[in-house]
Structure 1
Amino acid sequence: MADIVDFIVCGKHHAEHRLLALVRLVFCTHEKFCFPGVIISYPFRRGCTTCLQNRSRRIGCRHLRARRCDGGPFQTPARILQEQPEYRGTLKMVSYLNLSSGVAGWRAAVLFPLLAYLVSRLAMLVIGLVARDQMLNPVDYVWIYHDRVWLDIWGVWDTGWFLSIMSQGYDHAVSTNPDTPLQANWAFFPLYPMLAAVVADLTGLSDFVSLLVVSNLCFIAALIWIHAETVDLYGPKAAKWTVVLLCVVPGSHVFSSAYSESTFLLFVVGTLAMARNGHWLAAGCLAALAVLTRNFGVLLLVPMAVYFVEREVKPPTLKAGWMSGLLTVLGSRRFLAFAASVLLPCLALGGFMAFLHERTGDFLAFVTIQRAWGRTADWPFAALLRPVLELWLFPLVLWPSAIAAWVATGLCIVMVWQRQWAHAAFAFIGLTVLLTAGLLSVFRLVLPIAPFFMMAGSLMACWPRIGLALLPVMVMTEAFLMWGWALGWPVY
């Protein structure tokens, strides 16, 4: 009867919902045909915003139901059916094709990230051009990578190291240049400049422009992917806030610069999404690419392991005893796929370490060379407390990193409180590793840790007034940092 009511009432105003009601009338009359009806009709139900805007609504039919609370996450069929093994094959198809959004959903998932990207990058471009026009001593600016200013403003500091890898490969010895004493490009992993080299070969663009092309394409892809992932975890409002935060957060200009942050962000988002859906080989491949972009990528093994435990090691599996249950899990095909996914990032890191040993005689050259930039091991809690203990003596240039570290710590606590164990583990361990090397560049290095932005987006979706109050502050801070970036200030 409820299906007939939906067909008459809602279908009267929404053409797409008439198809939904018709499908439900055909498929949902018997439990045997229940699941196909849910899968086929779900995209149209998702696109019918009028039916979802006020109260909790039924999704599916009387045999298979889920509820959407106004402030809670939107539950997709894949999530509804995770506990139903008889639908495992179809569930895998759904998670691959991402049928959680209809035509309207796909349009919003692509257009909103693109719009946020274009508006934010255009604003940064204008700020950078004005900053260069007002430069007092242009002769002192040494980072000239392109003769067109609107491109040159996106390259500074570490850009030269990526260009050196593209042009001459990895160094055989440390630099004797007085501007870069005892430094070498061993600290920078190869995938980002390799992708730029491929773009340069295919298009004929210069090395510097190719770096910018790779960075911006990866950032656009990361925005679209993280939007879809956040919709599934926290809801559409949180997804929009997440995209906005990535585009305006202080330091966001790095995603469009000749740096590897956007490439690493894309692989982080992809790894977490694939692991959450149980696609272990895809997650392993993306994690391996993340490792080849930055050594920090090896930490993605932690959320992958957490997701595997959440999905496979469950009380029903262990009801016959811990040992027999674990043996059952270890002998399954899913564990073999997970083991292979873990092996891939390890092989990627081991291969690069072997290359560095052949080139420099040191397997850990990418770690030892960090001393040339003044990075030394330190207790992470000491790095957090130092700005408070040395309030008036603390270097001004490190304050953005100190604030970012404190905000990230608070977001880690919220993730634990909301039981987002995989995201919390990756974010906490990643932040701890970054802080062991001090606060230098932490505000930039923490940007690709996607769970921070997803959690912040969900919080701002719950308290939009606070988000709207903080948004101008972030925009103004990012404008100042972009101004300094275009002038070569040490705001890295």
Structure 2
Amino acid sequence: MGWDGQWYWVVGVDGYPADLPVDDAGNVTQNAWAFMPLYPALSRALATVFGGNYPLAAVVLAIVAGYFACLVLFHLLRERVGASTSMWAVALLAAGPLAALFQMGYAESLFLLWLFLALSCLVRRRFGWLYLLIPLMAYTRPGVLAFALLLGLYGIVRWWCRRTDPLPATEVVHVVLLGLLAVLVGFSWQVIAGYVTGDPGAYLETELSWRRDWTGAHDAGFVPLQGFVQAAALWFRLWGLPEALGYVALALAVAVLAATLLFEPHVKRLGPEIRLWSASYLIYLLLVFFPTSSLFRLLLPLAPLYGAVAGPRHPVWRWGMLGLGLVAQWWWIYQMLALGNTYTQIP
């Protein structure tokens, strides 16, 4: 129940503050508005079964949601890469570096469940269910704006390929309406936070309060891409390396990821929907996130790419990836949970 688990606990028990906390300089400080309401609300409801024990309910909900997320991931991948590779992909996720999150009071596993269901509906073109799943994603954790970008790119790809893959007018309407819905609910939390607190910038200022602990830029507002650019310099400076090298590393990482999504054969086998989602989510992170050690956790929505990691069928590769995941899991638990004693060890 540490770190973000504590904040979800605060939301589940006490709700959100009507007055934003500020420091001596008048800057908004860390508060509950950074955390979406669905997971703590469900945990609070489930706690009634456990005699009001919120921590127990939060962990049970995370475990159950994680199980069903793995189940949906298997079915999402099976049609593209087969049952064996899909099962290995699930194993690599469930025993991977971030597997401890499935046993913590975090919203990640619940978000993965909604996300995998939404991707499955998109692959099967069952658009009706997305009208429910998109709001569920939006109010579980940030990231639904990446799904809005996915829908935009998906519409473009479907339009481009309409001669070989017919695009009925009803599907055009669904894609447009769902994209608009994702944008609307993606920005709605900012409106809600502004209305309750009386400060239109309440949500953004709250999110930036975490970044300011790193940058010290108390007068800086939100600028797309700025977070990664700032962090590229900051981390390389902390490591005793030239800041310019950080910018080069960032550019190379973007180029390598783009090339992987475009050309790597095992990734291409996953189909356009998963590739477009992966690209959309990476673009979203690049635009809005300031990378800290939490970046490992924020990469979890890319879990469908485990279908590509499990693609090579050689047993040495698959068992090697599983072993590597378990070793990395031990490292993550030790560094972020057993130690977790510095600002560079945030799970």
TM-score range, shorter chain: 0.7 to 0.9
- TM-superposed CA distance for 1:407, in Å, is 8.2
> 2:19–2:197: 8 Å Cα contact kept in structure 1?
yes
* 1:157 paired to 2:8: no
- Amino acid paired to 2:211: G
Give the Cα separation in 2 of the matches to 1:386 and 1:353.
Answer: 29
Match of 1:414 in 2: 260
Asked if 1:252 corresponds to 2:99, the answer is yes
Cα contact 2:138–2:186 (8 A) shared by 1: yes
Helix, strand or coil: the match of 1:275?
helix
RMSD: 3.6
Over the matched positions of the two proteins, sequence identity in percent amounts to 21
Task: Using the TM superposition, give the Cα deviation of residue 294 of structure 1 relative to its aligned residue in structure 2, in angstroms.
Answer: 1.8
How does the TM-score come out when normalised to structure 2? Answer: 0.78
What TM-score, normalized by structure 1, do the two folds share? 0.57
Number of the residue aligned with 1:115: none
The equivalent position to 1:367 in structure 2, one of 204, 222, 232, is 204
Aligned to 1:438: 290
Q: How does 1:4-83 map to 2 (within 5 A)?
A: none
1:426 equivalent in structure 2: 277
Q: Distance in 2 between matches of 1:283 and 1:227?
A: 19
- Give the conservation status (yes or no) of the 8 Å contact 2:147–2:281: no
1:451 is aligned to 304
Structure 2 counterpart of 1:122: none
Matched, 1:276 2:129: no
Higher gyration radius (CA): 1
Q: How far 1:410 sits from its partner (Å)?
A: 4.7
Distance 2:252 2:41 in 1: 35
| 2:89 and 2:306 in contact (8 A); partners too | yes
For residues 406 and 227 of structure 1, the distance between their equivalents in structure 2, rounded to whole angstroms, comes to 32
The offset of 1:250, in angstroms, is: 1.6
Q: Is the 8 A contact 2:93 2:306 kept in 1?
A: yes
Residue pair 1:170, 1:186 contacting (<8 A) in 2 also: yes
SS at match of 1:449: helix
Give the aligned partner of residue 140 of structure 2.
293
Residues 215 and 246 from structure 1, CA distance in 2 versus in 1: closer, same or farther, beyond 3 angstroms? same
Which residue of the partner structure matches residue 218 of structure 2? Answer: none
Mapped to 2, the partners of 1:176 and 1:367 lie a distance apart of 14
What is the CA–CA distance in structure 1 between the aligned matches of 2:281 and 2:18, rounded to whole Å?
30
Deviations 1:56-88 (A, max 9, x none): xxxxxxxxxxxxxxxxxxxxxxxxxxxxxxxxx
| Aligned equivalent of 1:481, options 320, 325, 332 | 332
Amino acid at match of 1:477: A
* Structure 1 residues 117-146: Cα deviation after superposition (integer angstroms, max 9, x where no partner): xxxxxxxxxxxxxxxxxxxxxxxxxxxxxx
Query: CA 1:457–1:470 in 2, change beyond 3 Å: closer, same or farther?
Result: closer
Q: Secondary structure at the match of 2:139?
A: helix
Q: Using a 3 Å threshold, how does the CA distance of structure 1 residues 301 and 374 change in structure 2: closer, same or farther?
A: closer
Larger CA deviation: 370-379 vs 256-265: 370-379
How far does residue 406 in structure 1 lie from its aligned partner after superposition? Answer: 8.5
Unpaired runs of 5+ residues, structure 2, are 213-221, 242-248
- Whether the 8 Å contact between 2:12 and 2:41 is mirrored in structure 1 is yes
In 2, Cα distance between the equivalents of 1:245 and 1:409? Answer: 25
Partner Cα distance (1:369, 1:481) in 2: 27
Residues 402-440 of structure 1: per-residue CA shift (max 9 Å, x gap)? x9x988975653332244433233222322332443321
> Structure 1 residues 488 and 409 mapped into 2: Cα distance closer, same or farther (>3 Å)?
farther
Question: CA separation of 1:205/1:245 partners in 2, compared to 1, >3 Å: closer, same or farther?
Answer: farther
Q: 2:207 and 2:75 mapped to 1: Cα distance?
A: 36
Unaligned 5+ segments in structure 1 are 1-154, 319-324, 395-402
Confirm or deny: 8 A CA contact 1:306 1:421 kept in the other structure.
no
Matches of 1:348 and 1:451 in 2, distance apart?
24
The question of 1:348 aligning with 2:185 is answered yes
Aligned length: 318
Higher RCO, Cα 8 Å, sep 6+? 2
**Which letter maps to 2:146?**
L
Q: Does residue 223 of structure 1 match 2:74?
A: no
Distance in structure 2 (CA, Å) of the matches to 1:353 and 1:449: 25
* CA distance, structure 1, for counterparts of residue 189 and residue 30 of structure 2: 19
Contact 2:191 2:200 survives alignment (8 Å): yes
